[in-house]
Amino acid sequence: MKDAPLPAAFLRVERSLGQRRWVGPGAEHERLTLAMEQATRLPRALCALLVRGGIAPQDAAAHCDPKVRDLLPDPMILRDMDPAAARLVAALDRRERIAVFADYDVDGGASAALLICWLRQMGRDATLYVPDRIDEGYGPNEAAMAGLAARHDLIVCVDCGTLSHGPIAAARGADVIVLDHHLGGETLPDCVAVVNPNRQDEDGALGHLCAASVVFLVLVELNRRLRPRGGPLPDLMGLMDLVALATVADVAPLIGVNRALVRAGLHRMALRERPGLRALADVAGMDGAPTAYHLGYMLGPRINAGGRIGMANLGARLLSTADPHEAQALAERLDALNAERREIEAQVRTAAMAQAEARADGPLAWAAGAGWHPGVVGIVAARVKEATNRPAVVIGIEDGIGKGSARSVAGVDIGAAIQRLAAEGLVLKGGGHRMAAGLTVEEGRIEAAMARLGELLARQGAGAGGPRDLRLDGLLMPGAATVELIDRLETAGPFGQGAPAPRFALPDCRVMLAKEVGQGHLKIAVGDGTGPRLDGIAFGAVETELGRALMAHGGARFHVAGRLEVNVWQGRRSAQLKLEDAAPATGGQDG
């Protein structure tokens, strides 16, 4: 049986300056976009996004204005919600000693901060415990849990614990509640409750929630149970910034209720009420209203830096502190650690990329090296995944043991595959969720484990695609790329995992400016000769074929492609193209 023929390349670009084949909307998509435009009177570019998301015309208005109250599920649909909420209420009533055991990443820190801040508003303090990434590893361990149990009545594990049978059993004398989202095993730990939408006995309808969202649902249920008693209750909307941060930083898909949670959280964050996030935004040099980009690429990495190469609890402390002076000190410390992390990451990334490129074929990109810092292998795995368009695993080896992180692509469940490796005995332990996972493996078994992982991922379709296709949402003329249009497009967002930001092609443009700015970045301006020009930026592009061709354009015209964004400079907002690719508009193209 012959393969189906490829659709015609968009704008006939078979091979761009970035060595990509451009793929645009098909005829059916265009037909539905036109129907959407006629029915809603919304801008055509926005209609194209709505159609891409499978939104019907009658649902367009609600989709563009998602409300948490309309989309938030009833917390009680999650298994073990009832015993979890009942035990927490009892702990409040009896003024028990409560400990919060959290993972060391952003989701863990935000989950811990949610619970700590809620308890603080209820007049209760809680002990924070975050394990050291290197000395203790991910999740509860027996020594830590036994120590906490000796001094507390209740331990709440957030963003961890679903697979921690032994450590939870070691917490003798204390009750344990698990609030998590990582994939569950065939059996659950013996504890009061495991609230996790990714338990095997859940239907998976809420499997896209991060741990902070699970914690938030628990707090919603707690407020509901306490409301009949009268008296003030914690302001749950005031906690939405933490939920949004965790959702984006943990690469949860921005679908369903996640869209509403992130939208509401960004609005809350813009108020700059949380001392920790306000201080961190300032040291990160954020200006203007926060976006999902800021959460994922500016705030998230700095919060993660504490768990990667510094003190593991810095992020959770920053997010939960009410003291502006402590917040400033913690933010500056995390910013410094993030700079140090970038240097370490760059060294590991160079070596890992070389290995991954040597294994260019197959469904899995992986690399392993002695002495690679375990705190940066996850970031490097993400970079390898982006470069290869395949699931990636990066492993640091120390004393004969490899500790690795995995990142996946859309449609491929890396967490389940690695959990299968653990069940088969190829790795010492492993697990996670669809898009990210971790593993521990003996050095001598790395090759066999990665070969088996590749087999499992190939069954899910990993490696079937390639990095060549550049998917575009349609055509746009430079003069139509206005701030007003970008603001309208944002109503289809927020954009991120599972909901990529729109990418447009601007056809037959004249290059009016192309010069180097900063260290190797390309600043451009393009126009079609009939309207205003559009400024753009391509980071790190000067020494690429794309940069060289545009800087030596010689009057030639180009199709350019990228994402639109609002640039804020001295309080003025202007439209800008984040340039990703280009192709000669006449000649020099295949097809």
What amino acid occupies position 92?
Answer: L
Q: How confident is the model at residue 590 (pLDDT cuts 50, 70, 90)?
A: very low
| Residue 248 confidence (pLDDT) | 96
| Residue 6 confidence (pLDDT) | 65
pLDDT over 90 (residue 410): no
Mean pLDDT, rounded, for 428-435: 88
Q: How confident is the model at residue 396 (pLDDT cuts 50, 70, 90)?
A: very high
Q: pLDDT above 90 covers what percent of the chain? A: 84
| Residue 531 confidence (pLDDT) | 82
| Residue 388 confidence (pLDDT) | 86
| Residue 360 confidence (pLDDT) | 65
| Residue 570 confidence (pLDDT) | 77
Mean pLDDT, rounded, for 520-548: 92
| Residue 282 confidence (pLDDT) | 97
Tokens of 302: 């700095």
Phi, psi of 266 (to 5 degrees): -65, -40
Q: pLDDT above 70 covers what percent of the chain? A: 97
| Residue 588 confidence (pLDDT) | 40
Give me the helix-helix angle, 300-309 and 240-249, nearest 10°. Answer: 70
The answer to which of 3-12, 110-119, 248-257, 561-570 has the lowest mean pLDDT is 3-12
Mean pLDDT of the chain: 93
Hey, what domains does the chain have and what are their CATH numbers?
A: 10-26+472-584 (2.40.50.460), 78-335 (3.90.1640.30), 359-459 (3.10.310.30)
DSSP reduced 3-state for 33: helix
Cα(516)–Cα(55) distance, integer angstroms? 41
DSSP reduced 3-state for 142: helix
pLDDT in tens, 218-261: 999 999 999 999 999 999 999 999 999 999 999 899 999 999 99
Residue with tokens 């999902």, as numbered in its chain: 292
Q: How confident is the model at residue 431 (pLDDT cuts 50, 70, 90)?
A: confident
| Residue 107 confidence (pLDDT) | 97
Residue 436 pairs with which residues in a beta bridge? 407
Answer whether the bond into residue 494 is a cis peptide, omega within 30°: yes
User: Which residue from 500, 45, 502 is spatially nearest to 254, judged by alpha carbons?
Assistant: 500
Q: For residue 406, what is the enclosing H or E element?
A: strand 401-407
pLDDT over 70 (residue 268): yes
pLDDT over 80 (residue 59): yes
Rounded to the nearest 5 percent, the helix, strand and coil shares of the chain are: 45, 20, 35
Residue 538 pairs with which residues in a beta bridge? 522
| Residue 586 confidence (pLDDT) | 72
Alpha helices in 170-321 (DSSP H): 211-226, 240-249, 257-269, 275-283, 292-294, 300-309, 314-320
Q: How confident is the model at residue 409 (pLDDT cuts 50, 70, 90)?
A: confident
DSSP reduced 3-state for 268: helix
Query: Which parts of 75-220 are beta strand (E)?
Result: 98-102, 126-129, 154-158, 175-179, 193-195
More confident residue, 496 or 467: 496
Q: Give the burial class of 232: count Cβ atoms within 10 A of its Cβ; 0-12 exposed, 13-18 middle, 19 or more buried.
A: exposed
Query: pTM of the full predicted structure?
Result: 0.87
Q: How confident is the model at residue 468 (pLDDT cuts 50, 70, 90)?
A: low
Half-sphere exposure of 559 (CA within 13 A, CB side): 27
CA atoms 404, 410, 413, 415: torsion sign = positive
- Tell me how far the alpha carbon of residue 30 is from its chain's centroid: 30
Planar angle of CA 61, 67, 69, nearest 5 degrees? 135
| Residue 7 confidence (pLDDT) | 73
More confident residue, 152 or 591: 152
pLDDT over 80 (residue 564): yes
More confident residue, 507 or 358: 507
| Residue 308 confidence (pLDDT) | 86
Mean pLDDT, rounded, for 397-422: 93
